[in-house]
Amino acid sequence: MNLNSPEAVLSPECVLLTTLNYVLDDITAKMTPDLSKFKAPTSYVKDKGEELVVRLFENSNLSLSMKNNCAPLINIKFLFKGMYGSSEELAENVKIYRSSPGSGLYADANGYLLYPYYTTPVIYRSLKDEQYLCKSDAYIVLQNLTLEVYPFEKPQVLRVLLAIFLRSQELKNLKRMEFLKFDQKDFASIKKEIEKEIKSFGTDPAEFFPMMAEITNLAFPDLHLRFKNLVKVDWGEPEAAFFERILRRYVLEFHVAPNFKYLLTILYSTAERIINLLKKIIDNRLEIFLLGGPRPTVRLFEDHGGRQLVMKAELFNAINKPTNLIKNGFDEICFEAMTMEDVQKQFGDQIKDIEFIRLPILRAKDKAVPLQGPLNNREFFVLAIDAFFDLMRNVILGVKLFQKIPHWGVAEPICVSWYLAFKHEELKKFVHNQKGCSRVYALKCNECESKPKASEIQKTFEDLKITKETSESSKKAPEASPPLQKFPEPTITQKESKNCEKCFRTCEMLNEAKKELKSNENRIKNLEKKLSTKEKKLEEFEDQKQKIQEKEKEIQEKLEEIEQLKGKVEKSLKIAEDNGKLISEVTKLTDSIAELNEEHSKQTEKFLESQNQQFDKISHLEYELDMARQTTEILNQKILELENQRAENENWEAEKQNLHLEIQENRGKIKEFYDENIRMRTENEVNQRMIQQLLDKLSSATSSGNSYSNPPVATSGRDYSNPVNYRRPESLSSGSKYSNPRPTVS
């Protein structure tokens, strides 16, 4: 599983910050921190940012004026190149300097939390040879998976919102450094969940168009606030200003585009959905993204020479032992370390449940890589010896303290403070192990003084040689020989002693040469291993090239799909404009619905009045039905007569067509009358049932003893107490007479 980012995520500001932290302060003061002065990229750069480093130093004021009798000006760029090497070498060292776990917090200590994670997640091995991942790197993997799965363009605004959300979650959930057991299936399930949710992203017109109308009508300060509210954090002034600059750049770049409203709304809705998705993933997997686990973890730092060190505070925290280690003022900024052998001797069974994670101590060419503290992930430390050399480098090459002080009395209290801060006994041991005692001026090494000098070793060696020869000659002598007499010890001349000293020195030189040969052999073995790994990487690189070509083909296909989608989007934009008008009409319709409801209540009251009129209409329609039937019979008879007279009448066909048309019209009218009759019958039946219920209630009331003086009267004037007036529609005679009947159709 590839844990790296699929795209460039290194911000130029991060390259600037880490480079300024890496070089000396005296050089940093001569460098311009403004990226706009040397045409720096505005988005993201490659892994090292080598081109940006070149521009950074070419456009900085790195000239040092030194007035001498011979040289009026010396360019510090030559001194800088001799100290830090080429721009490529410097970029490589700066990358090493910023590549440790949690180094993003160290580089962004100035308040910049809006940059995406740019470090590469590293899988470490424990002493049991199990794979472990730093929990802070789990947030980096989550960012990289999101960028990999999301198929569309990812503008800088979206990446910045994603970065500040993940970094704020990391600061809230992880107060100290901790590791989790790496299982590829966990992150594969996270990737599948992200893919599934992103595929379900769509634009629902019922939600999208009101959102588009709302967002596009906002002024820029309100729009800035709307985007900021997507991430519920305390925005500091640097973060707010940085995000405002990026959002303003995006608006100025795309406001000319015809589909700008659509793009801005899609950006907002996508950012909102992705942030909610990542929040759900973190809440559902607290064992990955929060502190706590089945077994405590402690870092085991591995230095050159096979040394394995453990921070006491981190170990005591793992075994629940109080960490009251402060002895003096300087111990407040220092943490003591223990070797792994001492840990095993002192604690034994107490550490059997602890997982020791092997971390190599990384060093760039000119500076040690900072390590996160054991109790607070916002604190960073380096080994004391690395801090000492870093201090000396700044004092001698940067500040040039010893060139500026007038006399030694000024520098003495400063050196005393260094003597107290850096534990001199440990420093002497380090210098002695590095065989640098003779090269450090005025250093008294107790171990070197306790060893015998070379001349004494040679004398003892010669004495042992003489006594050995005499003992061997005594064994070879005959038994009858006279007893041995004591002779004076042979004296060695000055020339012979000098030759012995030379031989001893040559032996020492040979031993040193052997050691160098062994070290060279080890280096060759390491280089061979590196070559094999690089060959494997080359093979992987070729495989990746093939994959890249396949992905490029897929990208071309997706670009074609995107162009098709753009055409559809333009059509949808036109539809959206029409829908905007429809939305305004819908709002008017909602207002008119209330008025219609009031009218409906009034019409229900009128319905009772119109019931009586329906009875009369039913009878009238039945009469018209009968008349229509009679007319159809007459027309059928006429058709027969016309068929008999077909030979005589030349216009018989035209008349027949007219008759057919009249028949069809009459049939349509009959059907309408029939439907109307059915409707009126059903209404009449309903009304009769209601009246029957009222009569039943009246009859029950009269039977119980309640008498009414005035019976209820219908609105139409009929007497509903008489059941004769409740005739069903079927009982109405088809031959009822009216004052104005319709004439028959001739």
Report how far residue 160's alpha carbon sits from residue 246's, in angstroms, rounded to the nearest whole number.
Answer: 9
Q: Are 656 and 639 in contact (CB under 8 A)?
A: yes
Q: Are 484 and 474 in contact (CB under 8 A)?
A: yes
Report how far residue 168's alpha carbon sits from residue 130's, in angstroms, rounded to the nearest whole number.
Answer: 30
Sign (positive or negative) of CA dihedral 379, 380, 383, 385: negative
Q: Which two tokens stand for residue 31?
A: 């460098």
Q: Are 296 and 318 in contact (CB under 8 A)?
A: yes
From the centroid of its chain, how far is CA 170?
11
Q: What pLDDT is stored for residue 740 in this prediction?
A: 40
Nearest C-alpha neighbor of 4 from the set 151, 181, 141, 194 = 141
Give helix 384-393 / helix 424-433 axis angle, nearest 10°. 90
Report how far residue 432's alpha carbon sits from residue 441's, in angstroms, rounded to the nearest whole number.
Answer: 13
Report how far residue 540's alpha carbon sits from residue 174's, in angstroms, rounded to the nearest whole number.
Answer: 35
Nearest C-alpha neighbor of 271 from the set 249, 290, 243 = 243
Sign (positive or negative) of CA dihedral 309, 314, 320, 321: positive
Residues 6+ apart with CB under 8 A from 430: 385
**In which element (H, E) is residue 162 found?**
helix 156-173
Q: Are 86 and 48 in contact (CB under 8 A)?
A: no
Residues 6+ apart with CB under 8 A from 65: 72, 73
Q: Which two tokens stand for residue 536?
A: 């494997």
Q: What pLDDT is stored for residue 427 in this prediction?
A: 62
Q: What are the CA-CA distances from residue 80 to residues 53, 66, 90, 399 (Å)? A: 13, 16, 10, 15
Dump the DSSP string for 671-684. HHHHHHHHHHHHHH
Q: What pLDDT is stored for residue 126 in this prediction?
A: 93
Q: Phi-psi category of 482—alpha, beta or left, where left has phi over 0 and alpha has psi -120 to 50? A: beta
Residues 6+ apart with CB under 8 A from 275: 161, 162, 165, 230, 231
Q: What are phi and psi of 358, to 5 degrees?
A: -85, 120
Q: What pLDDT is stored for residue 133 in this prediction?
A: 93
Residues 6+ apart with CB under 8 A from 198: 149, 150, 151, 277
Identify any residues that bridge with 301 across adjacent strands, giving them in sequence order.
Answer: 309, 359
Alpha helices in 422-493 (DSSP H): 424-433, 446-450, 454-476
3-class state of residue 301 by DSSP: strand
Q: pLDDT means per 10 residues in the chain (746 residues)?
A: 69 75 72 57 64 69 39 43 73 80 61 72 91 92 90 85 90 89 92 89 72 87 91 84 89 86 89 93 92 89 84 87 51 72 89 90 82 81 81 80 78 73 63 59 58 47 46 43 40 49 69 79 84 85 85 85 82 78 77 76 72 73 81 85 70 75 86 87 87 82 54 43 43 39 40
Q: What pLDDT is stored for residue 714 in this prediction?
A: 41
Report how far residue 365's alpha carbon sits from residue 94's, in angstroms, rounded to the nearest whole number.
Answer: 9
Strands (E) across 497-558 are located at: none
Residues 6+ apart with CB under 8 A from 95: 47, 48
pTM: 0.56
Q: What pLDDT is stored for residue 421 in this prediction?
A: 66
Sign (positive or negative) of CA dihedral 386, 388, 392, 394: positive
Report how far residue 342's alpha carbon sits from residue 340's, in angstroms, rounded to the nearest whole number.
Answer: 5
Q: Are 127 and 210 in contact (CB under 8 A)?
A: no
Q: What are the CA-CA distances from residue 342 to residues 339, 346, 350, 625 (Å)? A: 5, 6, 13, 115
Q: Which two tokens stand for residue 287?
A: 């064992």
3-class state of residue 317 by DSSP: helix
Q: Are 56 and 18 in contact (CB under 8 A)?
A: no
Q: What angle do CA 151, 153, 156 make, to 5 degrees?
A: 130
